[in-house]
Amino acid sequence: MVRVFINGYGNIGRRLAAVLSSDKEVQFIGIAKYTADDKTKDAMDNGFDIYVPDGMVNQFKEKGYDITGVISQAIGGSDLVVDAAKEGGGYDNKKKLYEPMNKAAIFQGGEDRHGERSVADMIHNSRVNYAKAAGKAYVIQGSCNVSGMGRIMQPLIENFGDGIRRYDVTLIRRWADLEDSKDVKDSIEWDKNPHHQDDVRDFIPASNLYVDAYKVPSRMMHLHQMVVRFNGKAPSKDQIIETFRNEFGVAILNSARGTAAIRKKAMDLGFRHGDTNMVHIHQEVLRVQDDTIKISYSDDQTGMVIPENHLLMQSMILDRPRDEAIKRTDRIFQMTKKRRILEEEFK
């Protein structure tokens, strides 16, 4: 049994807690809360042990919340911390807690890979470098956009390799998650220097990749348009679709009107948290012309990285072969089944 603590209980942390607390291979230590708000009640209702910063126990107790102890104590009793802090917070946690206590940690995609606040020397993408994480003490799980790009690029590389000349990807990013209370601004904003390009190059270094990123006023999902240029004539549409036919975590849809249709369908179908946990290639807008293919796929931002964290845990701590890990993750997340359902719904 691996003893796991989740440090943070936001959009990602609460999803991680839901899955890891029900995994029989995990002894679930609990979650950290930093603000005594009603999300604490949500964690209590889910039966999680709640740990808070030193000196804050009374503040939580005064509001009627049951607190098991302080965060440092929970980390002391864990083998692995899954850090789910807001972007950038993982670095301070590493310096203050994980390194001094000699604890392994998974960080999320909002943390830095390079520079002064770098938290780890690799970014994990289960489709590309799963095995490289085995035995590592610190690894970043790539963000939802970065995970999605890896999931599409790697099968293309394995099938068409040297034939590919360059990738130009436009990330159309949702403004906020459905659960976020912040307003969605009526604006389209661009990113001067999207981190996604360097992050993908971290695990696919040879890729000739150019990324632009825009945020749009939506809460539903990201949409990526990937333009792939080949040295000669591009493969046919059928060849591209066949490349993804049996890819774990990739659905091929043909009649979704937009990202909201998929999200709402996932909620109507009772998928946990309304997550599909995958990317969805939109076959009806997959275009091939001369030396170029254009693939558009939507990317379930909140759901994508949860099975990725689960896979990463199996590599880092359990040193399990990838095929076995995928089977286990699929049993827990039911992704193959969800894919079949979505493909039938949007055929």
- For binding to ligand NAP (CB under 6 A), which residues are involved? 7-13, 32-35, 39, 84-87, 89, 93, 108-111, 143-144, 177, 301-302, 305
Query: Residue 204 or residue 304: which is nearer to ligand NAP going by CB?
Result: 304
In terms of CB distance, is 72 or 159 closer to ligand NAP? Answer: 72
Rg of the chain, C-alpha, whole Å: 20
- Give the residue with the Cβ less far from ligand NAP, 13 or 194: 13
Nearer of residues 235 and 303 to ligand NAP, judged by Cβ: 303
Instruction: Return the HEC string of the chain.
Output: CEEEEEECCCHHHHHHHHHHCCCCCEEEEEEECCCCCHHHHHHHHCCCCEEECCCCHHHHHHCCCCCCEEHHHHHHCCCEEEECCCCCHHHHHHHHHHHHHCCEEEECCCCECCCCCECCCCEECCCCCHHHHCCCCEEEECCHHHHHHHHHHHHHHHHHHHHEEEEEEEEEEECCCCCCCCCCCCCCEECCCCHHHHHHHHHCCCCCEEEEEEEECCCCCEEEEEEEEECCCCCCHHHHHHHHCCCCCEEEECCCCCHHHHHHHHHHCCCHHHCCCCEEEEHHHCEEECCEEEEEEEECHHHHHHHHHHHHHHHHCCCCCHHHHHHHHHHHHCHHHHHHHHHHHCC
Looking at the Cβ atoms of 306 and 317, the one nearer to ligand NAP is 306
User: How far apart are CB 317 and ligand NAP at their closest, in Å?
Assistant: 20
What's the min distance (Å) between Cβ of 162 and ligand NAP?
Answer: 32
Residue 296 Cβ vs ligand NAP, minimum distance, rounded to whole Å: 19
Tell me the closest approach of the beta carbon of residue 6 to ligand NAP, in angstroms. 9
**Shortest Cβ 205–ligand NAP spacing (Å):** 22
270: left (phi over 0), alpha (psi -120 to 50) or beta: left
Identity at 337, one-letter amino acid code: K
Based on CB atoms, which residue is closest to ligand NAP, 120 or 234?
120
What is the crossing angle of helices 144-160 and 195-203, to 10°? 50
93 vs 207, beta carbon nearer ligand NAP: 93
In 3D space, the residue among 323, 171, 166 whose CA is nearest the CA of residue 246 turns out to be 323
Using left for φ > 0, alpha for ψ between -120 and 50, and beta otherwise, residue 22 falls in alpha
> CB of residue 137 vs ligand NAP: minimum separation in angstroms?
18
Nearest residue to ligand NAP, by Cβ distance, number only: 10
Q: Which of residues 110 and 321 has its CB atom nearest to ligand NAP in the complex?
A: 110
Q: Shortest gap between Cβ of 253 and ligand NAP (angstroms)?
A: 20
CB of 143 to ligand NAP, least distance (A): 5
Q: How far is the CB of 9 from ligand NAP (least distance, A)?
A: 5
Instruction: Name which of 9 and 203 has its Cβ closer to ligand NAP.
Output: 9
